[in-house]
Structure formats: C-alpha cells, structure tokens
A and B are shown apart, each in its own frame.
Chain A
Amino acid sequence: MQTERKIRVLIAKPGLDSHDRGAKVVARALRDAGMEVIYTGLRQTPEQIAETALQEDVDVIGLSILSGAHKTLFPRIMDLLKKKGLTDVTVFAGGIIPEEDVEEMKKLGIKEVFGPGTPTERIIKYVLENVPKRT
C-alpha cells in the first residue's frame, strides 16, 4: 500500500460573528479541490481554535471573520498557536478586514488575507502553493 498524504485544513470562525456563508463557501471549495476540511461552526474562542488545530494536526488554518474583531482575536490566536508549538502551520484569513489592517495582520504571522468577492479558485491555488512541507 502506498503513502497517501492529504492536505488537512481547519476553517474556523472566531468570536461572536455569525456570518458563516463565506466560511462555508471556502470550506466547500477546498473540499472539492480534494482537501480534508474540518469545519467547527460558529463562535469559536481562540483557545478552541488553537486546541482543535493541535488535535487535528492540520497543515493550514483559515480564519473567517466579518465582525470587525480581528484586531483583538487574531493576536490571541497566533499567540496560542505559538505556545502550542504550531509554528509550521500556514494561517490565512478572509472576510471583512479593512485594507489598512492587513499589514498589521501579516506582522502577526497571518500569511494572506482575502476579501469579499475573491474567486474560490484563487483561494485553492493559494493553499496548494503554501502548504507547509512536512516530514
């Protein structure tokens, strides 16, 4: 039998934001591109997101947020990921994140941010090109 590696992605919605259409669209698109997508539903705390990523041993974490709370939630999530030793996981995000905040998010270690209207093909391509190489 052969080695069968699959890309595992966590799509998470931090905070009290209940806009879940975008997250579901992205989750479905990545699934249809052959990935294994873990979706955890609405209202996740940073602790829940980091712990889920750890137990599920994901390659990629996608954060979806439309509430405007990214500036308080994202630093906390990135901090917890670091504490748990998940520094080799690619984190990216989407939703309503104003242009002027993007630089700050990238400084935290969020690798890319995708806003409204992004074609899912671009998101798929991004994941395929940015999956961390793991042994």
Chain B
Amino acid sequence: MTKVEELAQGVLSGEIRSIARAITVIENNAPEAKKLVSSIYPHTGKAHIIGFTGAGGAGKSTLIEKIVREYRRNGKTVGVVAVDPTSPFTGGAFLGDRIRMQELSTDPGVFIRSMASRNYPGGIARATKDAVKVLDAAGKDIVIVETVGAGQSEVEIIKVAQTVVVVHAPGLGDEIQAIKAGIMEIADIFVVNKADRENANKTVMDIQAILQLNNKETAWKPPVLKTVALTGEGVPQLIEKIEEHRLLLEKGLKHKGSREKAEAELIEAIKEKVVSSVLEGLRKEGEFEQLVGEIVEREIDPASAAEKLLKKALKDAEA
C-alpha cells in the first residue's frame, strides 16, 4: 500500500490519528491531497451535515457543545469542524471554539477539529468541504460545521451543509439588518439563543416578521426556535427540527439538493484546474510577465491583457 492508501484506509476504519492527518494533508493542499479525497469519496454521503452560522458571540460554539451531547445520548457519533478567521495581515489565527467544547474532547465518539479560514471567503475554509468528507467517510453519523461568524456574507456554508442553522442572540445590535441582507435565504432553521435574556421574544418576533415578507410556497418553512445554550434548554426541540428537515430532504428534495451541490463542486473544481493549468502555460511563455509590466506602466488595462493572453492560450490548446 502507498502512504496515501494507508492514510485513506485509516480514515475509513475511523482511526483518530489518520483522520487528523488526512485533514492536515487537505488543509495544506499537500501533493497527495487529491488522491486522498478521491479514494475516500465513494465512502461519503452517509452523514447528515449541519451548518451553524451567525454573528460572533451569538453562542454557536456553546450551542454545538450541547447539541453534540444530545446526539451522543441518542447514540450517534459526531464530527465537528469549527472555523475561525485567519488574520489577513499576519496569516496567523487564534482558534478558540474548543474552549466551549472542552468536555467533549475525551469522548471517543466525538472528533473536533479547529480550522483557520486561511482567507477563503464566505465564512469557511477552502478545506472545510473536504474535511467534512473525511469525517463522513470515517463513519460519523452527524457532521457539524461552525462558520467564522462574521455575519452577512457567510453563504458558502450552503455548499457544504444539508441543514443550515442560523443562530442569533438578543442584543447583538444591527444583526436583524444582517439577516435581511443575506443570511436570511440560507437558513433552514432559525435559533434565538440566550433566551434567558429578557428581549429574546422581541428578537423572535423580528425574525418572524421578516419571514412573513417571504410568502413563496415552499415545502419547508424555516421555524424560529429559542434556546439557552448555557443550560441546554431548547436543544432537544432543535434536534427534532433538524431531524424533520433531514427526513424531508431524504423524501425528495435531497436529490435536487445534492445535484445542485454536485454541480457547484464540479464547477469549482473546473475553475481551479483551468486557472492553474492556463496560468502555468502562460508563465512559461514569458508573455505573462511582460503584460504584468505593461499593466503597471498603464500601457494596457488588465481586462484587455487577460483577453489577449487567453486568446493565445486557447489557440495553443486547440493546436
């Protein structure tokens, strides 16, 4: 067996060290990453993947800890990928989600991985999707992804998760604006956490009011639930809703959903391949560097330069 095959084998047998190493290989985009993902891919598709998004401080990590405990009580195994932001200036990251999940770390039925966004846009990391595949292939029944939590533009999570939970908390300021601005459409379930605070009901009503503006006929109406992550209040009800959503997906929507996901993933993979192979060719010719110089000197604009290069690259490809 080659080293990659061995690693893949380890992942499939649920061996912790292999799972951890495999995620690192994928994160670092090491040479063997592609082979690794393709060898585990046939064994994925069994886990239910749940995304948690919403502003920082809303209580996502605390809530996830309680949800994992509840799933464990129900006999399910769980994987968690918790993403925190990378500093665009230093490239470093402070990964602190585990602080809220300390007691889960010695449960053999739970695997938690902290992940830096490495400047990938949309609230997750480039490696998140494939890390989820690793945990899925390793046999976890449930895989949970916690996004960065910057707010508005965190929509990448819908490409990864089957059920998206948007978490809010009373008193986070302009956050209802943020819901309107984008996260709204991606939520399958809304949670108002910190329901122990007095204005929680107002937050619930605000969200319901926005939901009512959207009167499209849909098979699934996103419910709005209250939780207190500190005590676990409302968590069984949340899991019930997640389960309802999963069953609905299974009954019919799943096919559509998974086709869309597959299409998005294919397009992304093509983009990556095309860009890197075309760029490689262009750099070899030397014309690339020359055009960069011309753009700097304002002799040509970037769009025209790209067109010029691509015309040539495509002609080369035909020849």
Chain A residues near B (Cβ < 8 Å): 1-6, 8, 27-28, 30-41, 43-45, 47-48, 51-52, 54-57, 84-85
**Chain B proximity of A120: nearest CB distance (Å):** 13
Q: A31-B92, A34-B91 provided; 18 other pairs, C-beta below 8 A?
A: A1-B29, A4-B118, A6-B27, A6-B28, A8-B24, A31-B87, A31-B93, A34-B92, A36-B95, A37-B94, A37-B95, A38-B98, A39-B95, A40-B98, A52-B112, A55-B19, A56-B114, A57-B24
Interface centre among B20, B92, B106 (most CB of A within 10 A): B92
Residues of B within 8 A of A56 (CB): 20, 113-114
Cβ–Cβ contact B105 & A32, under 8 A = no
CA distance A13 to B16 in the complex (A): 23
Contact B16–A3 (Cβ < 8 Å): no
Q: Which A residues are CB-close (under 8 A) to B272?
A: 1
Counting contact residues on chain B (CB < 8 A from A), the size range is 35 or more
Residue of B nearest to A85 (CB): B17
Complex Cα spacing A40 to B112, Å: 12
Most buried by B among A44, A48, A55: A55
Cα–Cα, bound, A45→B103 (Å): 10
Which residues does B use to contact A, with CB under 8 Å? 16-17, 19-21, 23-24, 27-31, 86-87, 90-96, 98-99, 102-103, 105-106, 111-114, 116, 118, 272, 276
Of the residues A4, A38, A40, contact of B28 by C-beta under 8 Å: A4
Q: A41 to B111, alpha carbons, bound, how many Å?
A: 18
- A-side contacts of B113, CB under 8 Å: 55-56
Cross-chain contact of A55 among B16, B95, B103, B276 (Cβ < 8 A): B16
In the A-B complex, the 7 residue pairs with the closest CB atoms: A41-B99, A31-B92, A57-B20, A34-B91, A34-B92, A38-B95, A57-B24
Contacts of B27 in A (CB 8 A): 4, 6
A33 & B92 in contact (Cβ 8 Å cutoff): yes
| Residues B102 and A44 in contact, CB atoms below 8 Å apart | yes
Would you call A40 and B93 a contact (CB within 8 A)? Answer: no
Are B106's CB and A47's CB within 8 A?
A: yes
| A–B pairs, 30, beta carbons within 8 Å | A1-B272, A3-B31, A4-B29, A5-B30, A6-B116, A31-B87, A32-B90, A33-B92, A34-B92, A35-B92, A36-B92, A36-B95, A36-B116, A37-B93, A37-B95, A38-B98, A38-B114, A39-B98, A39-B99, A43-B102, A45-B106, A47-B106, A51-B105, A51-B106, A52-B105, A54-B16, A54-B20, A55-B19, A56-B20, A57-B24
